[in-house]
Structure 1
């Protein structure tokens, strides 16, 4: 079975969704430390329709937490909904587009669940828009011992799920050893995404 394992990102670029397209099972990697400067809780979105605009950070209102907090244990801030509306309104083109798409508005503006649930639901929504299958499992559901770290943790997850091929993005080349995966009977495959736009797929969904 072809498996992809990635942290849940907030409306990532199209390359991320290539993992859904080319894998039979997608593992939401939520049993690891929350990367504060990563893409789990934020993305760069254009404020206008100017295609040359690089975009600004749109960040989910995550509650303060310790550096050791895992993604699965994140929570939204107490005033998250009000804060989220304020942040969305800093992106007038985005906010207007949401007003015109009830399904997108309800999905993106509903913060009444834990952040990891929110992120999974929004990935589901994006996959539906892109016509991709959404077969997922969360790594936190597998009860992998804490003693497994980095590559060893990935290998343990793949073995638990019966994976024969691990699909990863090009950035993972420096993290994983082809030889180690081969020794464990698993093919390590890196997808080529160099010609794919790096913009958030949210802009494509909303046509902005």
Structure 2
């Protein structure tokens, strides 16, 4: 049996994103679909002393109303300075600040030095490096590597077939459009990801928040302990 997940790339995603990747044999970055504004593609949340705050990458969407995610780009790298400053300001008192900040600065420098302008490539840079820190070895492929079919369900099913997958693991938000009957008719079982039951850890700034970037886990408990925070205890 082979299980895969297919999901758009996000900027420094939350822990559930990596739990999903770790739960499958192969993960497909689904960036050949339309870019959605005010979504997770180019931004994510961190905790601050004033509450939750967005780290948003400014992207060029002028006239690109139907552009695919992998066609969206940044125009400069000034956002890197802004993000680094906001992260440093709010995590400087975390237990693992020096180690994690050094790692983040290296990634941001790599993006700038290598002139990585495409949003998908920026996101993938972070996703791959975060996987390494979590010890996740799931194979990652891009949706552009696969033949495309018209229709949401048809395209997802086609990717599953080309991956020789028997099980498709999906996030619960897709229940509004995923037709399980069509998947079953093609010999593919649909399973739904459950994002409940994550353990809490010592977190800065008040009440615990699960839905923040994975970097919050790294800063507060370190790289070596982070993996256990993305796995759920539902026994």
1:59-84: CA deviations, max 9, x gaps? 0132234111111111111xx22233
Aligned to 2:56: 59
Q: Give how far 1:100 is off.
A: 6.0
Q: Give how far 1:87 is off.
A: 4.2
User: Where do residues 164-183 of structure 1 align in structure 2 (5 Å cutoff)?
Assistant: 164-183=166-185
Q: Give how far 1:89 is off.
A: 2.1
| Structure 2: stretches of 5+ with no match in the other structure | 199-209, 222-235
Relative to the length of structure 1, the TM-score reads 0.86
Contact 2:11 2:42 in 1 (8 A): yes
Q: Does 1:93 align with 2:90?
A: yes
Closer/same/farther in 2, CA of residues 194 and 135 from structure 1, 3 Å limit: same
Q: Give how far 1:173 is off.
A: 2.1
Q: Give how far 1:18 is off.
A: 1.7
Aligned to 1:199: 212
State how far apart, in whole Å, the 2-side matches of 1:32 and 1:167 are.
18
State how far apart, in whole Å, the 2-side matches of 1:63 and 1:99 are.
33
Query: Which segment is superposed worse, 53-62 or 116-125?
Result: 53-62
Equivalent position to 1:69, from 67, 74, 79: 67
Aligned to 2:108: 108
State how far apart, in whole Å, the 1-side matches of 2:68 and 2:120 are.
10
State how far apart, in whole Å, the 2-side matches of 1:42 and 1:85 are.
15
Aligned to 1:82: 78
Aligned to 2:130: 126
Relative to the length of structure 2, the TM-score reads 0.77
**Alignment coverage as a number of residue pairs:** 200
Give the RMSD, CA atoms, in angstroms. Answer: 2.2
1:7-49: CA deviations, max 9, x gaps? 001122222112111100000001001111210100111234x
SS in 1 for 2:4: strand
User: Where do residues 154-165 of structure 1 align in structure 2 (5 Å cutoff)?
Assistant: 154-165=156-167
| Structure 1: stretches of 5+ with no match in the other structure | none
